[in-house]
Each structure stands twice: as C-alpha cells, then as structure tokens.
Amino acid sequence: MAIKTVVPLLVGLTFASVHFVEAQQPKRVPKIGYLSTGSATTDDPRIEAFRQGLRDLGHVEGKNINIDFRYAEGVAERLPELAEELVRLNVDVILTPGTLAVQAAKQATTTIPIIFPGVADPVAFGFVASLARPGGNITGLTNYSPELSGKRVELLKEALPRITRVAVLRDPRQAPDSFKETQIAGQSLALKLQSLEIRNAADVETAFSAMKKERADAFITLPHAVVTFHRKQILALAEKGRLPSTHGDRQWAEAGGLMSYGPDAIAIYRRAASYVDKILKGVKPADLPVEQPTKFEFVINLKTAKQIGVTILPNVLARADKVIK
C-alpha cells in the first residue's frame, strides 16, 4: 500500500515541477524584420506611423514585440544580403516597402510572411497571384495607381500654365507603368519630357546638370524608393536652381517640394500594422487580400513657391487638401 501511495505522489510532484519550470521560462517575444532601400531618416515618419498602429493593437516595441531594422541606405544592391540577415535572425514576419526590397525578401524566403506597406503592381512583379487571393507568403497594401502619375503632370501644368519642358526623375527598375502614364499625360499637354535615371547620388548631380542644359521649367519625381532616398539632395538642388516640382508623397512637399499628389503613405503604414497583427495571430498571408489606396492627398507648399519665385493659380490652390505656408 505504501508503494502505491508513493508512486502517484512522485508523478504529481514531477508534473508540478514541469509546470513550474515552464511558468518560469520567459515567453518568446515576436520579432518583426524591417527591410528598406532607404534609411532611418527617410523612413522615420512612416515607421512611427507603423509603431502607432502596433500600439493601437496592443503591441509595444521593446516590451511584447521587437523590430530588427535593415536599411540599404540607397544602395539597392545591398538588399539581398540584408534580407538574408533577417531570415537568419528567424524573424516572424518581414515588413518591406518598395519593389526592390520586396524582390530581395522574396528571394530570401518562401516561408516567412512578407508584408509590403506600399508597392507598385504586386501582381505584375509576381509577388502575389492576385489582389484578392495572394496565394503565397506575401501580401500587404499597394500604392499602385499609375494613373496618378498622369494626374500629377496635369496638376503641374494647371498650376504653372507656362511650362513647356518637364524633367522626370525615375528609377527604371521600378514601376514602368508610372512613367508610361507620365509620358501619355505629357504628350496630351504638349509638354516635352526629359527622362533622367536615378540610381545613386552621382546620378542626381548629373540629372540636374542635364536639366539645366535642356532648360527644364520644372521636374517630376516618380515614387521610386531610390529616388526617395535622395530626396534631401534633390530638393536642395531644386531650391538652388529655383525649379518647381511635383511628387507622389506629401513628405516631399513637407520637405520643400512645391507640390505632391498621391496616396496617404502614413495611413498605409499605420494600416500595415493590422496585417502584422493578424500574421502573429496565425492568419496566413495567402488569406489576406492586398488592399488598394482609397485616400489621396494634394499638398502645395506656398513657402517654397515664394522662395523659387512662382505663383500658383488660385483655382489650383483652392483644390489642395493641405497648403503649407
């Protein structure tokens, strides 16, 4: 009888010990990997919006979630190596904006979920099978609206009717449809377009020299990651050359560009947090449809207009969602 009594007691103590040890072990904190063509400086407002979105859902960085950042600092060739680093860190999900960064992440892993907060035409680039049914380990929110590129040309011409020559700064590796729409709009408005490729800082200097040589009246930047990385340099040269410009993101106008028209990138990043939240709760990327932009902003920087000596027509000014004075 004594032996029969001792055995259940020992078994009970063993299970109690196991449960006690498990209770003492800290719970694993989920890790998000962030891969960007840009830098901490260029991405900061968007990352803060993403962090706010996470906080709204109960995820606080450094407490119950961690983020590992990898920035290519404008050198797209570094993206594959950085993507592989995040895979080796065994992150739970990768957040990566921009076509080139998503391509690098896609090559690095077919199992870790990848969320893009704004990318051009994810179907055409093979990231997803369709917007409604992504079908793989990649999904997110697209800022793909090539027709907006044409709209930016129209707004620029309406605001400054006398312009006839417009330069276009772009990365030829990204969103060819955006450039095509720009060309179509330029042709319909009898504008002479000058295509200038931007892949590095030296290209920016070369582009502005070419603009001066061709006597460009204004320029447009297409919403490409490498171009965006060089925003500070581009806007400094624009101010020096007193060149009006239009862009696809309000951050450009807030940083000194004359005008911007496009999706609300801050809202997209904030919304991307909900995708990460669902992934961490077990939802598969294949079951999360890609969202398209629904909110667009037209921003005019009157301070810049005065600095470079241009006057925005009142009817265009009245249509702006935000006027920076």
Q: Give, in order, the Cα–Cα distances in Å from 10 to each of 2, 15, 21, 60, 284.
A: 12, 9, 16, 42, 43
On whether both 92 and 233 belong to a single domain, the answer is no
| pTM listed for this prediction | 0.81
Query: Is the separation of the CB atoms in 72 and 230 below 8 Å?
Result: no
* pLDDT of 254 strictly over 70: yes
pLDDT more than 70, % of the chain:
91
On whether both 221 and 290 belong to a single domain, the answer is no
Range of the domain at 163: 147-264+297-324
Q: What's the pLDDT score for residue 137?
A: 98
Q: What's the pLDDT score for residue 178?
A: 82
pLDDT more than 90, % of the chain:
74
- Between CA 249 and CA 261 the distance in angstroms is 6
Closest CA to 85 of 98, 63, 107, 70: 70
Q: What's the pLDDT score for residue 15?
A: 52
Count of domains observed in the chain: 2
On whether both 137 and 169 belong to a single domain, the answer is no
Residue 296: both structure tokens together: 């667009």
* pLDDT of 195 strictly over 70: yes
Residue 119 lies in a domain: yes
In the block, tokens 């129209």 appear at 154
Please give the radius of gyration of the chain, using alpha carbons only, rounded to the nearest integer: 25
Q: What is the DSSP letter of 123?
A: T
On whether both 206 and 319 belong to a single domain, the answer is yes
- Between CA 291 and CA 97 the distance in angstroms is 14
Averaged pLDDT, 250-255? 93
- Between CA 56 and CA 58 the distance in angstroms is 6
Query: Is the separation of the CB atoms in 226 and 98 below 8 Å?
Result: no
CA angle 83, 106, 61 (to 5 degrees): 50
pLDDT digits 0-9 by tens, 44-84: 999 999 999 999 999 999 999 999 999 999 999 999 999 99
pLDDT digits 0-9 by tens, 151-192: 999 999 999 999 999 999 999 887 677 888 899 999 999 999
